[in-house]
Structure 1
Amino acid sequence: MLMTMTTYSCPRCRVQAPADALTWCCPQCRGPWDLEFASAPVSLKSLASRVNSLWRYEEALPLATEIPHVTLGEGRTPLVPLTDAVSAKLDFLMPTLSFKDRGAVMLAELARRLAQGGGLRRVVADSSGNAGTAIAAYCARAGLDCVVYVPDGTSPKKLEQIRAHGARLTVVPGDREATARAAREAADEPGTFYASHVHNPHFLHGTKTYVYELWEELGGVLPDTVVVPVGNGTLLLGAALAIEELYGHGLVDTRPALVAVQAEAVSPLAAAFHAGAEELTEPAPVRPTLAEGIAIPNPPRARQILRAVRETGGTFLTVTEDQIHAAQLDLARRGLFVESTGVACWAAVRATAPRPGLTVVPLCGAGAKTGLSPSSTYRA
């Protein structure tokens, strides 16, 4: 059985469910869960002798109560300077070549423990590519049966990677939202664990290790500004969790500003933020964009994302297709081949006035997954 004291809770309805249940959403509003979990302080001095994966931050992780854990050695990605004031964290050097490994390892570990208790027959995930490849890889590592739902038009290289890990693919006609609906229907079947990087909060507790690594790499301090791409907001919300934990435990003196980046073509959160809204009133129209991984018209955690950015004194930025293409070429000429979604933050930083102090951007996915973006296909 799952050995954990954590509990799911709905931030809207205050409904609760045990974290060892297969209930993937709030039964009242069908919204995503939060996790009732209290982290403990991480000792910076002790980290030098710990395991070389994100499990090194065991005091901060809700599933670090048993060993061994599912792992592929994820985390500990390099932090390299791009300019005197901007550094990039190379999360495209993860085992499956994207930052989604941070959350996928947590979901696979949870599913492994659920399977040990009986009643779990398969894992289901939906993705535009990177989350699906990560879930497929970590389910393979854990010996779990996995089905990944992807939208029609997903990169062939990502489909090949998912199949190579042994997962079964279900290609859904239509867009990303249609794919999510199909996966949710499958997730309601008995014995199914929905490894949703959006709805399951364990994923966010995996992505928060991004900021714990920055804190460790920088010797116990955080950057002045943390820039993150936002579609469903899984990296941003994980970053916000880590910042609050580190600050709350007295491990940092100040909170960095969170700056969220969206593609101009699909930017519902940026529009809501600059309009002063607390949540989305309607989905954004779906338009083609090079940053397909963050082209989410109606993110389920919109309210949480907007609040997290405001509470840190951050803002939202948007980038055009030409800016994305130029940023990808610029990084490639610096020796870093990153997929087009993964360069959105660098595109935004290049186009805006520098903020005081150190800024860190993530390079989230490898260019080998999609190839070089076209220079004009997506122009209006």
Structure 2
Amino acid sequence: MTPLPDRYCPIDGVRIPSASLAWCCPSCHGPLDLDFAPTPAPLKALTGRVNSLWRYAETLPLSAPSVSLGEGRTPLVPLTEGVSAKLDYLMPTLSFKDRGAVLLTELALRAEPRRVVADSSGNAGTSVAAYCARGRLPCTVYVPEGTSAKKLEQIEAHGARAVVVDGDREAAGAAAREAADAPDTFYASHVYNPYFLHGTKTYVHELWEDLGGRLPEVLVLPVGNGTLLLGAALAVAELYGAGLLDRRPALWAVQAAAVAPLARAWADGAEELPRSTPVAPTYAEGIAVPRPPRARQILRAVRGSGGTFLTVTEDQIRHAQLDLASRGLYVESTAAASWAAVREGALGTKSAVVPLCGAGLKSGLARA
């Protein structure tokens, strides 16, 4: 079995051995990064490979998947002139989170824990539950009050235990982290564990391949905890560093105006989150994260790409979801946020791709 790369803290450099069940920096308690700098294969070398995200084996810190459900290689379809949508809601558990959950579960299998715990607003929990079922790992998922009943049903259908925590998304995360400190427990955190980001980066590797070795001028990405955006930034850096891209796309980060701590920090020119951020109910529950642990990294990634932050109102989200449905694409309201940000001409003449991250069957239509 190939040795795994170590994790490390991007703030103070503390290193965590690959075999450790530690889920955060023991010094600052922040999320970890991976000591891993792969070189992706050139376009021609991908011909004939397995039709899943594992075709990008050179870029992944784990190999020989035992729990794969065929995740990845989702369709890319045009929406309007210059703007396409990548249909990541057609993943095995109906959300893009499968890209990262499969790596977390493969990692957990190597650790042989007594149990796996996760926290989620719904989609990450359903994904971790499914892959743990595939790997025969006992799993508990902590979710906040108000989580879609359909997502809870999906978690439990996979055999996982769903624990509804009194409070919001942050409360669910705190409960999971407390449980994660128990002995022989693997914390399948899509926020703290860097393996998840190395799974989500395959979104961009697929775009690059589907577009014939190039990327659009803009990648428009919904941001709560920022796992898709940070994965995208990793992939862009890998492709550009290998000489497989002649220019880097700008990263446009989209937040719901009701919960927009990163957009507010961006507007203030800050590198840290404001001490407090107004929070209101939002249809976009999947990105309703008041204090994302990787905030500094997200802001740095957007700034370094020449990108920006956009916010969308509840009416814009609702109308974007209905507009996508009228085009044959039934996605949940969070997944409509990126389209809401660009459908009225914000891009100008720039080419772009928006991700449709979760299926509408998971939560239904946003109602006025």
Alignment TM-score > 0.5, same fold:
yes
Q: Aligned-pair distance for 1:160?
A: 0.4
Taking the aligned partners of 2:350 and 2:265, their CA distance within structure 1 comes to: 27
Taking the aligned partners of 2:199 and 2:65, their CA distance within structure 1 comes to: 17
Taking the aligned partners of 2:349 and 2:138, their CA distance within structure 1 comes to: 48
Q: Return the letter of the residue paired with 1:224.
A: E
Name the CA shift for 1:35/1:215 in 2 (closer, same or farther; >3 Å): same
Matched-pair contact (CA < 8 Å) for 1:151–1:173: yes
Q: Deviation string for 1:5-29 (max 9, x for gaps)?
A: 4011101111011122100000011
| Counterpart for residue 41 of structure 1 | 40
| Counterpart for residue 175 of structure 1 | 168
| Counterpart for residue 205 of structure 1 | 198
Matched-pair contact (CA < 8 Å) for 2:40–2:56: no
Q: Aligned-pair distance for 1:43?
A: 2.6
Matched-pair contact (CA < 8 Å) for 1:61–1:205: yes
Q: Deviation string for 1:210-233 (max 9, x for gaps)?
A: 000000000111111000000000
Map 1:1-80 → 2, pairs under 5 A: 3-64=2-63, 67-80=64-77
Q: Aligned-pair distance for 1:274?
A: 1.4
Correspondence 1:103 to 2:100? yes
Q: Return the letter of the residue paired with 1:72.
A: L
Q: Return the letter of the residue paired with 1:41.
A: P
Q: Aligned-pair distance for 1:354?
A: 2.3
Secondary structure of 1:316's aligned partner: strand
Map 1:116-155 → 2, pairs under 5 A: 120-155=113-148
Map 1:251-270 → 2, pairs under 5 A: 251-270=244-263
Taking the aligned partners of 1:283 and 1:13, their CA distance within structure 2 comes to: 25
Matched-pair contact (CA < 8 Å) for 1:124–1:186: yes
| Counterpart for residue 378 of structure 1 | none
Taking the aligned partners of 1:150 and 1:297, their CA distance within structure 2 comes to: 15
Matched-pair contact (CA < 8 Å) for 1:226–1:361: yes
Q: Deviation string for 1:162-212 (max 9, x for gaps)?
A: 000000111111111111000000000000000000000000000000000
- Runs (4+) of structure 1 exceeding 3 A deviation are none
Greater Cα shift, 45-54 or 297-306: 45-54
Name the CA shift for 1:141/1:257 in 2 (closer, same or farther; >3 Å): same
RMSD over aligned Cα atoms: 1.0
Secondary structure of 2:254's aligned partner: strand
Matched-pair contact (CA < 8 Å) for 1:278–1:306: yes
Taking the aligned partners of 1:283 and 1:200, their CA distance within structure 2 comes to: 25
Equivalent residue for 1:113, pick from 110, 119, 137:
110
Secondary structure of 2:163's aligned partner: strand
Taking the aligned partners of 1:373 and 1:16, their CA distance within structure 2 comes to: 44
Q: Aligned-pair distance for 1:68?
A: 4.2
Matched-pair contact (CA < 8 Å) for 1:158–1:369: yes
- Equivalent pairs: percent with the same residue? 70
Secondary structure of 1:347's aligned partner: helix
Q: Return the letter of the residue paired with 1:75.
A: G
Aligned residues: 368
Equivalent residue for 2:88, pick from 65, 87, 91:
91
Secondary structure of 1:141's aligned partner: helix
Taking the aligned partners of 1:114 and 1:3, their CA distance within structure 2 comes to: 14
Secondary structure of 2:219's aligned partner: strand
Greater Cα shift, 45-54 or 84-93: 45-54
| Counterpart for residue 192 of structure 1 | 185
Taking the aligned partners of 2:188 and 2:264, their CA distance within structure 1 comes to: 29
Q: Aligned-pair distance for 1:355?
A: 3.9
TM-score normalised over the length of structure 1: 0.95
Taking the aligned partners of 1:52 and 1:144, their CA distance within structure 2 comes to: 26
Matched-pair contact (CA < 8 Å) for 2:256–2:314: yes
Taking the aligned partners of 2:366 and 2:50, their CA distance within structure 1 comes to: 37
Taking the aligned partners of 2:163 and 2:276, their CA distance within structure 1 comes to: 25
Gapped regions of structure 1 (runs ≥ 5)? 376-380
Correspondence 1:328 to 2:326? no
Greater Cα shift, 271-280 or 338-347: 271-280
Matched-pair contact (CA < 8 Å) for 1:318–1:348: yes
